[in-house]
Structure 1
Amino acid sequence: MIHELRIYHCVPGRLPDLLRRFETVTLGIWERHGIRQAGFWTVAVGPSNQDLYYLLEWESLAERERKWGAFASDPEWLARRAETERDGAIVASVENMILAPTAFSSVK
């Protein structure tokens, strides 16, 4: 199993819009494409409360490339994303990491 950590740094004040988009739009489209999430977090204490952290689970990098590519070019996703951003960008920047578990990790 491969885990991908994605961190979305929101435009100030737009985190609620991002959370709403994930809950009402993105997760349904991911389900259709077979994309599995392992959890979502916001920052309660830390450097910024305008960030969203989440983990995705992949069987392999090939699965990630195939499914993420299909999602990224999905016509419904492109239309709905544009709809949610008609008043301006929601996300200022994205960090993306593929994580490798250590030998002693409880998550493999």
Structure 2
Amino acid sequence: MPPSDGTDSRRRAAKLKSMIHELRLYSVAPGRMADVHTRFNEHFPALFARHGVDCVARWNAVAGPDAPRFVYLMAYRDYAHREAVWASFYADAEWWRIRAETNAGHEMVERHDLFFMKPNAAWAMDADPAPVGGLHELVQQQIAPGQNANANVFLQETWLPLVREAGARVLAVWDMASGAGMQKVVLLYAWPDAAAWHAGRQSLDRNETLRAAFAEQRKKHGTALFQRAEVNLLDPAPGMTIRAGLGRGARPA
């Protein structure tokens, strides 16, 4: 007898709970961004497919630290899946040939920042399969120490609704599982364009509901639940189609 819908739902929920995303931010050598895109568009598709690397998004950073910056995101079933994928990848002589050829005598990437992230409960599934264009905003949001639970309530009940009201589409909400400057949530938004982002951010800065919420947090907890943040503004990379869900749909066993 096939499993009931309830069993299927529990299995899907368990898979989503164990899955991870890996975020890589590369500081690219001046004048080498086109070479990075060549590596990803011409060499990596077959190599990634061979080893099961699921690259679900790539961007150029148009504003943020460590410019020029290239950013990409990968999805895995769990940590064991991630380790198996990359052990296979790095054992492939073809990767080392491609690396040497595309570096062309000089390293094209000067710095690598890598983060592991797990889906936050506030990340609602988005079934729209259409490509997501526009200007994307990646926010590494510092959370006040010991305030994760309260911050999640604020995130779901106040912050995300107001971000949507300001004109953004919420593409992802993660808890950072490892990386610099813990504790953080990582947020990914899509804005129609730069003008919409600018207007939306001004609206949020002036929002009286937010101002009152932060004032109440300082009164109750001695600090605002959201503290400093690192923000990158991102354009989808040439040749990359980014879709809502970012790999959270049905995944191969």
TM-score (norm. length: structure 1)? 0.90
Q: Give the drift of 1:88.
A: 0.8
Which residue among 42, 49, 59 is the counterpart of 2:77? 59
State whether residues 27 and 67 of structure 2, in contact with CA within 8 Å, keep that contact through their aligned partners in structure 1.
no
Provide the residue aligned with 1:38 in structure 2: 56
What runs of 5+ residues in structure 2 fail to find an aligned partner? 1-18, 125-171, 173-247, 249-253
Aligned-residue CA RMSD (Å)? 1.5
Tell me which amino acid in the other structure corresponds to 1:97: F
Of structures 1 and 2, the one with the larger relative CO (CA 8 A, separation 6+) is 1
Q: Which has the larger radius of gyration?
A: 2
TM-score (norm. length: structure 2)? 0.41
- Matching of residues 27-106 of structure 1 within 5 Å: 27-106=45-124
Alpha-carbon distance in structure 2 between the residues aligned to 1:44 and 1:85:
23
Tell me which amino acid in the other structure corresponds to 1:13: G
Greater shift, 45-54 or 70-79, is seen at 45-54
Local SS of the residue matching 1:24: helix
Tell me which amino acid in the other structure corresponds to 1:68: W
Deviations 1:69-96 (CA, angstroms, capped at 9, x unpaired): 1112210111111111123110001111
Q: Give the drift of 1:44.
A: 2.2
Local SS of the residue matching 2:62: coil
Alpha-carbon distance in structure 2 between the residues aligned to 1:3 and 1:69:
17
State whether residues 22 and 115 of structure 2, in contact with CA within 8 Å, keep that contact through their aligned partners in structure 1.
yes
Q: Give the drift of 1:49.
A: 4.5
What runs of 5+ residues in structure 1 fail to find an aligned partner? none
Q: Give the drift of 1:47.
A: 3.5
Q: How many residue pairs get matched?
A: 108
